Amino acid sequence: MRIVALAGGIGGARFLRGLLAVTPSSEITVIGNTGDDISLYGLRVCPDLDTVMYTLGGGINEEQGWGRQKESYVVKEELAAYGVEPQWFGLGDRDFATHIVRTQMIDAGYPLSAVTEALCARWEPGVRLIPMSDDRTETHVVISDEQGRRAVHFQEWWVRLRASVPAEQIILVGADEAKPAPGVLQAIADADVVILPPSNPVVSIGTILQIKGIREALEAKTVVGVSPIVGGAPVRGMADACLTAIGVDTTAQAVLELYGSPLMDGWLVAEEDAGTALDGVLVEARPLIMHDVESAGAIAQAALDLATEIAARRGTAPQGEDAR
Ligand code: GDP
Ligand code: CA
């Protein structure tokens, strides 16, 4: 079976690890969010691509959910000793090497998709990981604070300010010109099923859906999503601050409506959100907390089963040898 999944950082990566565990023989293409990308100290950093790559490749710091395990912070301390800003973004020594390799390749003229493939040759994540676009896009957040009304990089709002200042607007700078990276639309066209893991609906999934042509390509497919909102709150992180900024309630229902029909065909919600419903969408309630690889795998299997049921109801037999 050919599966396409969109993914942000931690939630997306943990779900994908479960998906891989339950369907090892499937061909999985992951379209990664690059709206969080930022240049720091002259280096290009792609937090969500790296979180997916490290998590699936066995190099992630499990407790933190991002960054490398067995990490040290000597370079960060040395930069701080020089007074170099920003000091609020944590990059470890091992992680720095990834960003050095990436920046070197980008400076040599390679597109981000080729760089990501090269980095993945080391990590062997078991999926094909493609950035949503090779064109540079960046999520910026409009805030008002003592410095007045201004736009800051998403990472400054999220990491430095911990989303404590309300976002008045969230904008993907560069979205109008950005094209899907090579392979993205083809992978969607070839997919038997598309999964939206429990990733941030605004700044991860929402960002990917803004790239020209991606939403339209997905609408032709069977798309099943997993709600990142359980019982009216994000499972972890501050996705509620992003939803509020775009005028969407922090509920499984509101996120489903945000994605909308015809995009969505199936939606997995937690048991406490069992009343969720939208015309044209098959909703199923089940435990949605990823405690470990096993529980993430059970959620992934439920998403695949829901896709199979949707196909059966429409009278289109699921394709692929292993369409379970
Ligand atoms: P980020 O880039 O690290 O913020 O990660 P993502 O974009 O992948 O997604 C974070 C989202 O995943 C948050 O909105 C969480 O609510 C959601 N999430 C994290 N862990 C879980 C979980 O165990 N179950 C569910 N349903 N959602 C989760
Ligand atoms: Ca992210």
Long-range CB contact pairs, 81-89, < 8 A, 24+: 84/41, 86/40, 86/156, 86/160, 88/156, 88/159, 88/160, 89/38, 89/40, 89/45, 89/155, 89/159, 89/160
Whole-model pTM: value is 0.96
**Axis-axis angle for helices 112-123, 47-57 (nearest 10):** 20
- CA 46/CA 39 separation, integer angstroms: 9
Q: Which CATH number applies to 38-131: 1.20.120.160, 3.40.50.720, 3.20.20.70, 1.10.8.240?
A: 1.10.8.240
Residue 227 Cα: closest atom of ligand 1: 26
Computed over its alpha carbons, how large is the radius of gyration of the chain?
Answer: 19
Residue 65 Cα: closest atom of ligand 1: 3
7 within 8 A of 204, measured Cβ to Cβ = yes
- Ligand 1 neighbour 235 (Cβ under 6 A): yes
pLDDT digits (tens, 9 = 90+) for 88-119: 999 999 999 999 999 999 999 999 999 999 99
Mean pLDDT taken over the chain: 96
- Ligand 1 neighbour 290 (Cβ under 6 A): yes
Neighbouring CB atoms inside 10 A of 212's CB total 14
- Ligand 1 neighbour 48 (Cβ under 6 A): yes
Segments making up each domain of the chain, as ranges? 2-33+177-314, 38-131
Measured in angstroms, how far is the CA atom of residue 23 from the centroid of ligand 2? 25
Residue whose CB lies within 8 A of the most ligand 1 atoms, among 236, 259, 289, for a mutation test: 236
Query: What tokens appear for 216 in the block?
Result: 């339209």
Mean pLDDT of 23-49: 97
The bound ligand whose nearest atom lies closest to the alpha carbon of 204 is: 1
- Ligand 1 neighbour 8 (Cβ under 6 A): yes
Q: Give the CATH superfamily of 2-33+177-314.
A: CofD-like domains (3.40.50.10680)
- CA 252/CA 268 separation, integer angstroms: 9
Indicate which residue's Cα is closest to atom 24 of ligand 1: 289
Q: In which band, very low, low, confident or very high, does the pLDDT at 323 lie, cut at 50, 70 and 90?
A: very low
- Ligand 1 neighbour 142 (Cβ under 6 A): no
- List the Cα angle 87/88/93 in 5-degree steps: 70
Per-residue pLDDT, 324 = 46
Q: In which band, very low, low, confident or very high, does the pLDDT at 315 lie, cut at 50, 70 and 90?
A: confident
Residue 203 Cα: closest atom of ligand 1: 7
Percentage of residues of the chain with pLDDT beyond 70 = 97
